[in-house]
Homo-oligomer: A and B are copies of this chain.
Amino acid sequence: MINKLVASMAEALKDVKDGSVVLIAGFGNSGIPVELIDGLIEQGAKDLTVVSNNAGSGRTDVAKLLGTGRVRKLVCSYPRTSGSVVFEEMYSAGKLELELVPQGTLSERMRAAAAGLGGFYTPTAAGTKLAEGKESRMIDGREYVLEKPLKGDVALVKAERADRWGNLTFRLAARNFGPTMAAAADLAVVQAREIVELGAIEPELVVTPGIFVDRIVHVPTPKQAGTP
């Protein structure tokens, strides 16, 4: 029997290795898997590369993880926001390497990893500083930059509803990076507010099919990121 539901946060995050590339879903404070991030801090893996659209605000969730000093590198589109104090501290102290990636390229690179592609040509950032050192080429009279897939060892994703096969739905715009990150990581770990019977999610309404999900932990009252 397929049962991806695990009993504890510890089990959900066991064997996350030092040096892992960790994809963390969310945009602003929406869709951030706060409890999984706390679980990862508890778990203790270090020398991590974190891929996340923002760098957290205040000192919770992504910011809290950065503050542990266990993140070597951040791959991110918009790390500096109001309240991104931990990121700014770590960055100016030279304790955090930053790879700045345009948001659509960030998402598309993870999708390329999920889709088994070797790379793609995008017009985004062509001719700018963020394309420096990258291969570019003219295609039909327009300049494109070659971007490579970005694969995660682990993805941390917040879902609204899950069944034991790993089928997921998401809550409103908390969906954001969740589906792409789940598909782009070798180990997709999901926190779900509600666990439902197999078959309770209508086949046409599944947002992330279970094939992309490895472990589910039930977090019935998830914290919204950015709240104390």
Name A's B-contacting residues (CB within 8 A): 108, 112, 115-123, 137, 139-140, 142, 144, 148, 169-170, 172, 175, 203-205, 207
Q: Is the CB of B123 within 8 A of A120?
A: no
10 contacts between A and B (CB under 8 A): A112-B120, A116-B122, A117-B120, A117-B121, A118-B121, A118-B137, A120-B120, A172-B203, A172-B204, A204-B207
Q: Is the CB of B121 within 8 A of A119?
A: yes
Please classify the interface of chain A as helix (H, G, I), strand (E, B), loop, or mixed, using the class held by over half of its residues: mixed
Q: How far is the CA of A82 from the CA of B117 in the complex (A)?
A: 33
User: A204 — nearest CB in chain B belongs to which residue?
Assistant: B172
Contact of A121 among B120, B142, B144, B172 (CB under 8 A): B120
Give chain B residues whose Cβ lies under 8 Å from the Cβ of A142.
Answer: 118
Copies of the chain in the assembly: 2
Contact of A108 among B115, B169, B175, B204 (CB under 8 A): B115
| A108 CB to nearest B CB, Å | 7
Among A119, A120, A169, A203, residue most surrounded by chain B Cβ atoms (within 10 Å) = A120
Q: Is the CB of B118 within 8 A of A139?
A: yes
| A143 CB to nearest B CB, Å | 9
Contact of A204 among B112, B117, B123, B169 (CB under 8 A): B169
Q: Is the CB of A123 within 8 A of B118?
A: yes
Among A119, A139, A172, residue most surrounded by chain B Cβ atoms (within 10 Å) = A119
Give chain B residues whose Cβ lies under 8 Å from the Cβ of A205.
Answer: 205
Give chain B residues whose Cβ lies under 8 Å from the Cβ of A207.
Answer: 204
Give chain B residues whose Cβ lies under 8 Å from the Cβ of A118.
Answer: 120-123, 137, 139-140, 142, 144
